[in-house]
Structure formats: structure tokens, C-alpha cells
Chain A
Amino acid sequence: KAGVTQTPRYLIKTRGQQVTLSCSPISGHRSVSWYQQTPGQGLQFLFEYFSETQRNKGNFPGRFSGRQFSNSRSEMNVSTLELGDSALYLCASSSGTSGYTFGSGTRLTVV
């Protein structure tokens, strides 16, 4: 069974640009959630999608957005990048509360 696939693995962007990250969940998993990991703030919840609907959003500015497609694949977008957006972005897929499987993450560096 294929795991959670996140692309790309690494990204370098310039301040002010925008970026789109992709996540393909485990087959059959309808829930996809996103987390930001930084040395200072740790692991923070961004948002979660279930059947193409955003069910919850963390405390991030509106520059952070996402969506989910009918095949459960999800994308997150960050506009007007800031230096502080440099982080590891992790995607997790779930079939319920009993298990969350994470991808390898996308390392975003903003210069």
C-alpha cells in the first residue's frame, strides 16, 4: 500500500512569491491535514480537508490556503511568502481518528 506522497521535497522561494505544495493521501483515506514544523513553534496544525471540504483551520494568516480534489489529493498554497514561512510542511492522511500517516514533508526555504 503506497504511503502519503508529498511533492516537491525541497523548495527555495523568494520573499513575496507564492508556492503550492501537493499531497497525495493513502488510497481510501478521505481526510488530509497539513502541519507546519519550525524549530521555534514546533508542529502546528494548518487545516484539514475531508471530502473536498475544509473542516477546520489553525491560527494562520489568510495567506495560507488549501484545497482538496475529488480524488482526495490536496494542495496547500502560501501567497506573499515571508522569511518566517520557512519550515517543513507535513501532510497527514487519515481514515479516522485512530491513525494518521504522515508524508516525508516539503522543506520550504524562503530567501
Chain B
Amino acid sequence: AQSVTQLGSHVSVSEGALVLLRCNYSSSVPPYLFWYVQYPNQGLQLLLKYTTGATLVKGINGFEAEFKKSETSFHLTKPSAHMSDAAEYFCAVPKPPPGFQKLVFGTGTRLLVSP
């Protein structure tokens, strides 16, 4: 079954430092992959979406993710962290057909940004 694994439940960075949040998908290449961000007491906001054929995907708020088939990875990066980036980040993949395609989420990574 299609799934994603997020390594690291917490990541701490200093303001201005590189942000790297890891996500690996299960063996078969999914048609879509998503990164969502969740701020405290909020719902999920779509950061970016991978579609088949893309390699580097740019999202909102300066985030981007690189799809690497050889590593079954879709890691999220941002060159310079800002205090406002402190939130929880989720990688997700749609369950493949047949049948309804629900989203399967990783366990999430909480990003902590220190001044």
C-alpha cells in the first residue's frame, strides 16, 4: 500500500538557516505527492504538490521540494528559515486507485525556529 515516512518528529533550526524536512515514499512512484503545513489551531495548508514528471517543485513561502526517484524521496527545503515558519509539516500521498483516493499522511515534523 502506498505510504510516506517522515524522518524526525522535530527539527530545530536557527533563523536564517537552511530548513530540510525529510519524506520518503513507498516503492511505487506515486502520481502525486503533497506537503502541507499546519500552524497551531489551524487546518492544513497546501505548500506544494508534485505531479508526475516534475523534479523540483516550488511552493509557497519560499519552500521547494525535490523529487528523487532513485532515493524514493521528496524532501522539503527552504534556504533561509524565518520565525514564521515554525509549524508542523506533513507529507502526504493519495491512495492509488481502484477505489477512492484518500490521502495517507506521514506522522509529521514539527519545525522549531530559534532567533
Contacts and interface: CB of A to CB of B under 8 A. Distances in A.
- A and B: bona fide binding partners: yes
Interface of A: 4, 6, 33, 35, 42-43, 45, 48, 50, 55-56, 58, 90, 92, 97-105, 107
B39 to A, nearest CB: 10
Nearest to A58: B102
A97 B32 contact: yes
Contacts of A4: 43
Interface string B19-31: 0000000000001
Q: Secondary structure of the A side of the interface?
A: strand
Interface in B76-105: 90, 94, 99-105
A80 to B, nearest CB: 25
Contacts of B32: 97-98
A100 B43 contact: no
Nearest to A41: B107
User: What is the size category of the interface that chain B forms with chain A?
Assistant: 20 to 34
Nearest to B97: A97
Nearest to B41: A107
Contacts of B108: 42-43
In order of increasing CB-CB distance, the 7 nearest A-B pairs are: A56-B100, A102-B44, A43-B105, A55-B100, A102-B43, A104-B43, A45-B102
Q: Which among B31, B94, B99, B102 has the greatest number of chain A C-beta atoms within 10 A?
A: B102
10 contacts: A35-B103, A42-B108, A43-B105, A90-B43, A90-B44, A97-B101, A98-B49, A98-B51, A105-B43, A107-B41
Contacts of A45: 102-104
A99 B94 contact: no
B70 interface: no
A46 to B, nearest CB: 9
B17 interface: no
